[in-house]
Amino acid sequence: MRVRTFSADTADEALKRVHEAWGDAAKILSTYESPRGRGAEVRATLADDAANHAVDHETDNVTPLNPIDADLERRLRAEIAASAVKPQRDRLTEALNRHQTPKPIVKKIVDQAERARLQDDILALGSAFDGWGLFDPIPVKTNAELLFFGLDEEAVLATMDAFEAQGRLHRSETRFDKAALDNWTSQQIVPLATRVKNQKLEPVLVLPFDTSQTQIKQSVEILAAMGGHRLVMTNVGETRVLGGLISAGCHPRARLAQVLLTEEHGRRLEVLNPLSLARLALFW
């Protein structure tokens, strides 16, 4: 009976080598992975050989698969088989759905990615995001007088602090202020809109990561009515769910400025671009 040992850095990679060499005819005899993650070995034979021949001296000392190894093998085989035949459209759709992106937006993004005819998933999805024109960051030096506003006072304050801490805006050079609202009522919106108009401010909407789709739509419409288009999404890293961010950026009357990550990331302001957002959507 022919027995081969396939070595790799991980059991996943070793099983891939088995699959590449012998395909579905391979029968796994044993797997070994270093507990320190410094290498893995998979011993395999051909199914026909295993069925028609007794085990010879080469396999006398082979340890049979324990239930955990067997389950791992089945799962990895299923993943390898699925990834080998799954169309790009399905891969992109699954990634966007995982981030809880609204289905109508998923379809439009995937349709646009498919039209790009790019084999690389990151480039395909990035080209789709680029086609939407999602981004318009606040420049480091700007003469605009900014007003950060939103329904979450903590998010508004955190955004201002992050901008100032990273030196992106300086009170001595650029005027920026806050307006935290309790709700989107005319009693609160009208005075704010009047202030924006009279003082010639640029309103910048601040949305926390858990904003609902309805709130996103309503908030962006108010932003646009006041003559603004930039928005900042905060604390995205708390859930690693990008659906709200993608939805906000895909709104025809809004553009993503910076993205504020969590405190664990040092409250860093990230200036995303189509490719960086595609990487996050696919692998985060």
Q: Examine the domain organization and report whether 279 and 152 are in the same domain.
A: yes
Q: Examine the domain organization and report whether 151 and 81 are in the same domain.
A: no
Q: Name the token pair of 263.
A: 């405190």
Is there a domain that residue 11 lies in? yes
Query: How many CA within 13 A on the CB side of residue 234?
Result: 24
Q: Examine the domain organization and report whether 274 and 171 are in the same domain.
A: yes
Of all residues in the chain, what percent are helix, strand and coil, respectively (each to 5)? Answer: 50, 20, 30
- Cβ atoms of 127 and 118 within 8 Å: the answer is yes
Domain that holds residue 34: 3-85
Of 85, 102, 122, the residue that ends a domain is 85
Instruction: Tell me the sheet residues that pair with 150.
Output: 180
Query: What's the CATH number where 255 sits?
Result: 3.40.50.300
Q: Examine the domain organization and report whether 153 and 274 are in the same domain.
A: yes
Q: Give helix 121-132 / helix 88-98 axis angle, nearest 10°.
A: 60
Q: Examine the domain organization and report whether 162 and 251 are in the same domain.
A: yes
Q: Give helix 213-225 / helix 243-250 axis angle, nearest 10°.
A: 30
Going by C-beta distance under 8 Å and a sequence separation of 6 or more, which residues neighbour residue 271? Answer: 135, 137, 258, 259
Instruction: Tell me the sheet residues that pair with 40.
Output: 8, 33
- Determine the Cα–Cα distance for residues 146 and 169; give it in Å rounded to an integer: 10
- Determine the Cα–Cα distance for residues 192 and 227; give it in Å rounded to an integer: 12
pLDDT for the residue numbered 126: 92
Query: How many CA within 13 A on the CB side of residue 150?
Result: 25
Name the domain count of the chain.
Answer: 2
| % the chain with pLDDT above 90 | 17
- Determine the Cα–Cα distance for residues 174 and 113; give it in Å rounded to an integer: 39
The predicted-structure confidence for 98-145, as pLDDT tens digits, reads as follows: 999 999 999 999 999 999 888 889 999 999 999 888 888 887 766 778
Q: Examine the domain organization and report whether 196 and 74 are in the same domain.
A: no
- 254: part of which helix (H) or strand (E)? none
Of 60, 85, 110, the residue that ends a domain is 85
The predicted-structure confidence for 158-202, as pLDDT tens digits, reads as follows: 888 777 776 665 554 445 556 666 677 888 888 889 988 998 888
What does pTM read for this prediction?
Answer: 0.61
The predicted-structure confidence for 218-257, as pLDDT tens digits, reads as follows: 888 889 989 999 999 887 777 778 888 898 888 888 898 8
Place of tokens 């992050």: 162
